[in-house]
Amino acid sequence: MMKQYVLKRFFLLLPTFLGITGLTFFMLQLAPGDPAALKAQSFTELLADPQQTEAVVTETQKLYGLEKPLSLQYLLWLKRIVLFDFGESYRDHRPVMAKIAEALPITLLLNALTLLVIFVIAFPLGAYNALKPNSFHDRVSALFLFLLYSLPSFWFALLLIVLFAGGDYLNLFPLIGIFSDGAERLPWYGRIGNLLWHLILPVIVLSVANIAFLSRFVRASLVEVMKKEYIRTAYAKGLSPFQVMVKHAFKNALLPLVTLFGSLLPALLSGSVIVEQIFSIPGMGRLSFESVLARDYPVIMGITVMTATLMLISYFVTDIVYGFLDPRLRLHERRGL
């Protein structure tokens, strides 16, 4: 029965995948803006005979494969990606995979660090608040966290830059990029330190909103779990509240995080456009933004495929895990389908 369930879930991924890629593909092409025309954009050219311009644009379209009918283009593209060939970018003719491979590690690193910071701060905070719900410090930290959560990220980022990196007030941090000029000359531990130094401000901006969310979530979960009977048993056994929390409550409260982690992987890889734009970090967010503006179809499709695939995989895994844990869900699914 389990095998059937797994297989069924797996095959259902296919139409979703086709749906995502097809929708993106057609939407891109139907959106106004033609990459060939953008390249040939000739508002300032001498001797621009419109017939010649048109001929040249058509040539470029042929070069990009855009002159074929849409459905044919889509099918050709599908055929290629089955072989893992994502084509070349229109902007610089480098393989799409190479461009993604450049931007991905940076975004991964940034997000991993952000996650680290979030967990390290949010868990103790949430747990501490859950020990004494509705106490003074619970209320104060709730307010403070909400304040942080409600700031528009770009405003907060610029505020940090101005205060700590701008040269007008404090000048503690660098402003742009992920490495200083000349960082290659440093020893390996110096390079890591330099990298971290550059990433402090972006990580702060990215983590602030999510710390609020996660710590409230942890708190709410823990408070709920602490009311259960087996906790009272633990108390009866003589454990202190702290020990109770760590040994028993935590594990159960974290279960819902399975779903959260389900969307973690793709979120790790998508990158934040705003933060990357402000801090000049060449990650996935910036790549996606620039590609959309330049109508660089191959890159956009490549990023879509990657994000979609990873999300689907993680949903799939999450569903399987839940099906494993809770047999009733499996039955429900079967009845439903």
Rounded to whole angstroms, the maximal C-alpha distance in the chain is 91
Give the range of 65-73, 74-82, 222-230, 237-245 binding other proteins by CB under 8 A: 222-230
Taking CB under 8 A as the rule, does residue 323 contact other proteins? no
Position among 6, 97, 108, 220 found at the interface with other proteins (CB under 8 A):
220
Position among 100, 113, 125, 226 found at the interface with other proteins (CB under 8 A):
113
DSSP 197-248: HHHHHHHHHHHHHHHHHHHHHHHHHHHHHHTSHHHHHHHHTT--HHHHIIII
DSSP label of 86: -
CA distances from 124 to 117, 243, 248, 309, 322 (A): 12, 13, 15, 34, 27
Position among 66, 138, 180, 239 found at the interface with other proteins (CB under 8 A):
180
Beta strand extents in 67-125 (DSSP E only): none
Position among 78, 91, 204, 235 found at the interface with other proteins (CB under 8 A):
91
- b/e map of 79-107 (b: 16 or more CB within 10 Å)? eeeeeeebbbbbbeeeebbebbeebbebb
Give the range of 26-34, 67-75, 79-87, 237-245 binding other proteins by CB under 8 A: 26-34
Position among 6, 56, 66, 320 found at the interface with other proteins (CB under 8 A):
56
CB of 72 to other proteins, least distance (A): 21
CA 324, 263, 95, 294 dihedral sign is positive
Taking CB under 8 A as the rule, does residue 330 contact other proteins? no
Give the range of 46-54, 66-74, 78-86, 235-243 binding other proteins by CB under 8 A: 46-54
Smallest CA-to-CA distance from 306 within 143, 115, 41, 97 is with 97
Taking CB under 8 A as the rule, does residue 73 contact other proteins? no
Taking CB under 8 A as the rule, does residue 54 contact other proteins? yes
Position among 1, 2, 4, 62 found at the interface with other proteins (CB under 8 A):
62
DSSP 21-34: HHHHHHHHHHSS--
Q: What count of other Cβ atoms lies within 10 Å of the Cβ of residue 125?
A: 20
Taking CB under 8 A as the rule, does residue 146 contact other proteins? yes
* Distance, CA of 134 to CA of 257 (rounded, Å): 23
CB of 82 to other proteins, least distance (A): 19
Q: How many residues does this entry show for the chain?
A: 337
Number of residues that bind other proteins (CB under 8 A): 158
Task: Tell which positions 223-262 bind other proteins, by CB under 8 A.
Answer: 225, 228-230, 251-252, 254-261
CB of 183 to other proteins, least distance (A): 7
CA 243, 247, 248, 250 dihedral sign is positive
* Distance, CA of 268 to CA of 115 (rounded, Å): 9
CB of 181 to other proteins, least distance (A): 5
Position among 11, 49, 83, 238 found at the interface with other proteins (CB under 8 A):
49
Position among 81, 97, 204, 267 found at the interface with other proteins (CB under 8 A):
267
Taking CB under 8 A as the rule, does residue 6 contact other proteins? no
* Distance, CA of 129 to CA of 139 (rounded, Å): 9
Nearer to other proteins, 71 or 315 (CB): 315
Taking CB under 8 A as the rule, does residue 116 contact other proteins? yes
Position among 70, 72, 76, 120 found at the interface with other proteins (CB under 8 A):
120
Position among 155, 240, 243, 247 found at the interface with other proteins (CB under 8 A):
155
Q: Which amino acid is at 12?
A: L
Nearer to other proteins, 6 or 277 (CB): 277
Position among 78, 138, 213, 241 found at the interface with other proteins (CB under 8 A):
213
